[in-house]
Amino acid sequence: MTQTVEPGVTGDEVRVLDLVDQLLANHDPHGDRFEFMGAQFDMGLAWVHFPEGHGGLGLMPRIQEVIDHRLDAATPHRPSFFHVIGHGMGAPMLNTHGTEDQKRRHLKPLFTGEDVWCQLFSEPGAGSDVAGLATKAMEDGDEWVVNGQKVWTTVAHVSKWGMLVARTDPDLPKHQGMTYFLMDMEAEGVEVRPLRQITGEAEFNEVYMTDVRIPDSQRIGERGDGWKVALTTLMNERVAIGGNPAPRNAGAIADLLEVWREHGGTEDDRDRFMKLWVEAEAARLTNLRAYENRTAGTPGPEGSTAKLVYAELNKRVYELATELMGPEGMLYDTYELFQPQSAEEMSGDLRRRFLRVRANSIEGGTSEIMKNILGERVLGLPGEPRVDKDLPWTKVPRS
Ligand SMILES: Cc1cc2nc3c(=O)[nH]c(=O)nc-3n(C[C@H](O)[C@H](O)[C@H](O)COP(=O)(O)OP(=O)(O)OC[C@H]3O[C@@H](n4cnc5c(N)ncnc54)[C@H](O)[C@@H]3O)c2cc1C
- Verify whether ligand 1 is closer than 6 Å to residue 152 (CB atom): yes
- What pLDDT, on the 0 to 100 scale, is given for residue 385? 86
Residue with the smallest CA separation from ligand 1 atom 16 is 363
**113 near 83, Cβ under 8 Å?**
yes
279 is catalytic: no
Give one DSSP letter per residue of 121-168, joined into a string. Answer: --BTTBSTTGGG---EEEEETTEEEEEEEE-S-TTGGG-SEEEEEEES
What's residue 9's pLDDT? 67
Measured from the CB, is residue 40 less than 6 Å from ligand 1?
A: no
Which ligand 1 atom sits closest to the C-alpha of 124? 26
Report how far apart, in Å, the C-alpha atoms of 303 and of each of 45, 66, 287, 316 are. 24, 22, 9, 20
Distance 285 CA to ligand 1 centre (A): 28
Contact 206, 151 (CB under 8 A): yes
Kindly report the protein residue whose alpha carbon is nearest to atom 30 of ligand 1: 127
Q: Is 149 in the pocket of ligand 1 (CB under 6 A)?
A: no
Question: Quick check: CB of 366 below 6 Å from ligand 1?
Answer: yes
Q: Whose CA is nearest to atom 32 of ligand 1?
A: 128
Question: Which ligand 1 atom sits nearest the alpha carbon of residue 126?
Answer: 26
Task: Give me the average pLDDT of each 10-residue run along the chain (399 residues).
Answer: 55 93 97 96 96 95 89 92 90 97 97 96 95 97 98 96 98 96 98 94 96 98 97 81 75 95 96 97 85 60 82 96 95 86 81 94 93 89 89 86
At residue 141, φ and ψ (nearest 5 deg) are 65, -130
Biggest distance spanned by C-alpha atoms of the chain: 71
- Residue 332 has what DSSP assignment? -
Task: Find the helix or strand (DSSP H, E) in which 273 lies.
Answer: helix 267-293
The pLDDT value given to residue 84: 87
Q: How much of the chain is helix, strand and coil, in % rounded to 5?
A: 50, 15, 35
361 lines ligand 1 (CB under 6 A): no
